[in-house]
Amino acid sequence: MDSKKILLADDSSDVCALTRLKLEKVGYKVFLASDGEQALDMIRRIFSNHVFNLIILDYLMPKLSGLEVLKKIRGSKEYGSLPVIFFTAVDDTGEKEQVLLLGVEDYILKSEGIDRLVKRAQGFFGN
């Protein structure tokens, strides 16, 4: 069975490295983007060859915020239905409500830990 493909967009190299390690340990192939523009570019460029099964976005990133990336994803006919989880340090009710209204699967605070994110991804994929 082909591994599940996850795009992780976060400007923290430490968060990316640890999250990638934990997700790959349980069987996911993880692609990394260091900012919002790079995440969108990867989705657009390789969407036809490597459909991502899940997008994980940080809220605050250079160039384009996670919210801006989410709006562009949801506005696309080709990849508008991609599932998205926010994994962020932004603990603001208004920001959380904005992304939830745009149809994200979850909004997990980094303070809740990477293990919670991994469990959510596993639950999302049914394993």
Q: Could you tell me if residue 99 is inside a domain? A: yes
Residue 78 lies in a domain: yes
Please name the residue that has the structure tokens 């996670």: 66
- CB of 107 within 8 A of CB of 67? no
- Would you give the end-to-end CA distance of the chain in angstroms? 13
Structure tokens belonging to residue 48: 């036809």
Per-residue model confidence (pLDDT) at position 1: 40
Is residue 34 included in any domain, yes or no? yes
**Length of the chain as a residue count:** 127
Residue 39: give the domain boundaries: 5-122
Per-residue pLDDT of the chain (127 residues; tens, 9 = 90+): 467 899 999 999 999 999 999 999 999 999 999 999 999 999 988 765 557 889 999 999 999 999 999 999 999 988 888 899 999 999 999 999 999 999 999 999 999 999 999 999 998 777 6
- Residue 26 in any domain: the answer is yes
Give the Cα-Cα-Cα angle 9, 88, 74 (nearest 5 degrees): 60
Could you give the number of structural domains in the chain?
1
Look up the CATH number of the domain holding residue 14.
Answer: 3.40.50.2300
Is 53 within the bounds of a domain? yes
In a domain, 56, yes or no: yes
pTM: 0.93
How far apart CA 99 and CA 84 sit, in angstroms, is: 10
Structural domain contains residue 83 = yes
At 45 the pLDDT is 82
Give residue 79's pLDDT.
86
69 by DSSP, 3-state: which? helix
Q: Decide if 43 is inside a domain.
A: yes
- Write the CA distances from 72 to 12, 30, 50, 77, 79, integer angstroms: 22, 21, 19, 10, 10
- 120 with 59: CB under 8 angstroms? no
pLDDT for 2 equals: 60
